[in-house]
Amino acid sequence: MEALTGYIAWLSKGQPVGAKVVGQGYVAIQPDRTPDAHAGASVYSQRCSACHGADGFGNGKFPPLWGPASLNGGAGMHRIATMAEFVRYNMPFGWRPNTLSRQQAYDVAAFILSQPRPTFRKNRLIAFPPIPGRTF
């Protein structure tokens, strides 16, 4: 906890409390037309499957995009605009931003979000087994 607090303090150094940080968040984009999951499947196959797998289940180094271990329906990334904006700026990993068009980003987001994923259960109780402090 001390390390996290220290890191947050370091990130915040010189920032007024409550001010929006330059570069925070995603750049809002709009598609040219209604997002098309079918077109997104083609983009996924060409640009995403090498890292996330043809089945979308990830490969250990890159996360699953659908299936039982993927983000659930309550995650922020389950919103098509959020995912499209993230994809547009950050994917394919290691490439320069905006490699995909706005429309391609929305289409691939529509495809990914059309796949099965865990349901978010906000009333589910979460229990963690106790771990001795010496573990850390």
Confirm whether 91 is domain-assigned: yes
| Structural domains counted in the chain | 1
Of residues 131 and 50, the one with the higher pLDDT is: 50
Domain-embedded: residue 27 = no
More confident residue, 100 or 5: 100
Q: Is residue 33 part of a domain?
A: no
Whether 13 is in a domain gets the answer no
Check residues 16 and 116 and name the one with the higher pLDDT: 116
Establish if 93 belongs to a structural domain.
yes
Dump pLDDT digits (tens) for 66-112: 998 898 888 888 899 999 999 998 888 877 778 899 999 999 999 99
Q: Within a 10 A sphere around the Cβ of 132, how many other Cβ atoms?
A: 6
- Each residue of 12-54: pLDDT tens digit? 888 888 777 766 677 788 999 999 999 999 999 999 999 999 9
CATH of the domain at 93: 1.10.760.10
Domain boundaries, position 112: 48-119
Measured CA to CA, the distance from residue 107 to residue 84 in angstroms comes to: 8
What is the structure's pLDDT at 114?
A: 95
